[in-house]
Amino acid sequence: MPTWEDKLILPDGQIASYQQEEHTRKFKLVAEPIAHNILPEVTIDVLGYNGNTPGPMIVVKQGEWVEIEVENRTEGPTTLHVHGLSKPNTQDGRPPIEPSPKIKPGERFTYRFQALQVGTFFYHSTENFQENLGLVGAFVVLPNDYNTHQVMLPDRDYTLIVQQWQIEQPELGKVFPGTYKPVKFGIQPNFFTINGKCFPEATPLQTKFGERLRLRFINKSSSSHSMHTHGHDFNIVEVDGFTRTGMMDDTISLASGKRIDVELIANNPGKWPINGTKTFHQSNNGHTPGGMITQLIYNE
């Protein structure tokens, strides 16, 4: 019998591997400089976990303990904060307010805490704008007993992390190929990605007629994004890991720091955009189409 974990898909990314020891899942994240392609012709010198941005998706079951060893191969200190998941502040990754260490370059630290809440969360560095430069990843806690959980198992369960990047370009309206170091402050973003890829590079989501899909939208960026799937409505099932009922929408406003899980019924065959509705965000530096668009494609 398939489990919920078998259903999870992070397009253009990896599910994190781990070692299970009793009730603990042990993960390893290496924070390091990476050269990452948001488009075939645009490479960004940013930071990633285990070679990619967003980092690998961490998946645990409710009640399990989690250990995340973070190795810092970046040039400055780093930290790891799992946003939304309650845990002791020694493990929460927000120094200097919390008694949680800064991990110096070349050093390691292992965070350990129990995943008490079910839902969609994300992890990120809290140091010096590193989250704007790529140090972010999904963190999903599944219910520990699917059969009794009120939310039925979806046919497919996609996680989509939106990001935005401020990359110097001589002018708006076209894409200038090259390798760039994004501006860490990110006040004036001009490239917009889903799981690290601009349209048309984002790998489409697949479905079949009649399926029930879950989409987990995650936003750590500093803008809100209005996410929308053409031809389909969204049933909002969870916000920040908390159940919602009777809340249909076709466009969700995904504010900074929020996670919205929606379900949609695959009842309208074809090929469809899944996108942020802000016009400039549907471009690569003003060149359309581009940006924060991926696709939903029916196979039969």
Binding site for a second copy (CB under 8 A): 81, 83-84, 86-90, 92, 94, 96-99, 127-129, 131-132, 172-173, 185-188, 220, 222, 224, 226, 228, 230-233, 239-242, 247-251, 253, 255-258, 268, 270-273, 276-281, 283, 286, 288-289, 293, 295
Q: CB of residue 161 vs a second copy: minimum separation in angstroms?
A: 14
CA distances 39 to 12, 42, 79, 163, 282, Å, are: 12, 5, 28, 14, 14
Whichever of 35 and 247 has its CB closer to a second copy, that residue is: 247
Q: CB of residue 29 vs a second copy: minimum separation in angstroms?
A: 19
Whichever of 49 and 234 has its CB closer to a second copy, that residue is: 234
Q: CB of residue 1 vs a second copy: minimum separation in angstroms?
A: 31
- Both tokens of residue 60? 């645990």
> How far is Cα 69 from Cα 71, in angstroms, rounded to an integer?
6
Whichever of 1 and 248 has its CB closer to a second copy, that residue is: 248
Whichever of 18 and 31 has its CB closer to a second copy, that residue is: 31
The distance of Cα 133 from the centroid of its chain, to the nearest Å, equals: 14
Q: Is 232 annotated as a binding residue?
A: no
Helix/strand/coil for 89:
helix
> What is the β-pairing status of strands 24-39 and 65-72?
parallel
Identify any residues that bridge with 253 across adjacent strands, giving them in sequence order. Answer: 226
> How far is Cα 66 from Cα 58, in angstroms, rounded to an integer?
10
Whichever of 128 and 144 has its CB closer to a second copy, that residue is: 128
Q: CB of residue 212 vs a second copy: minimum separation in angstroms?
A: 16
CB 231 within 8 A of CB 268: yes
> How far is Cα 249 from Cα 239, in angstroms, rounded to an integer?
13
Q: Is 81 annotated as a binding residue?
A: yes
Whichever of 197 and 281 has its CB closer to a second copy, that residue is: 281
The size of the chain, in residues, is 300
Q: Determine if the peptide bond prior to 54 is cis (ω within 30°).
A: yes
Q: CB of residue 17 vs a second copy: minimum separation in angstroms?
A: 27
Burial per residue of 107-116, b for 16 or more beta-carbon CB atoms within 10 angstroms, e otherwise = eebebebbbe
Q: CB of residue 73 vs a second copy: minimum separation in angstroms?
A: 21
The annotated binding site for Cu cation is made up of 81, 124
Binding residues: 81, 124
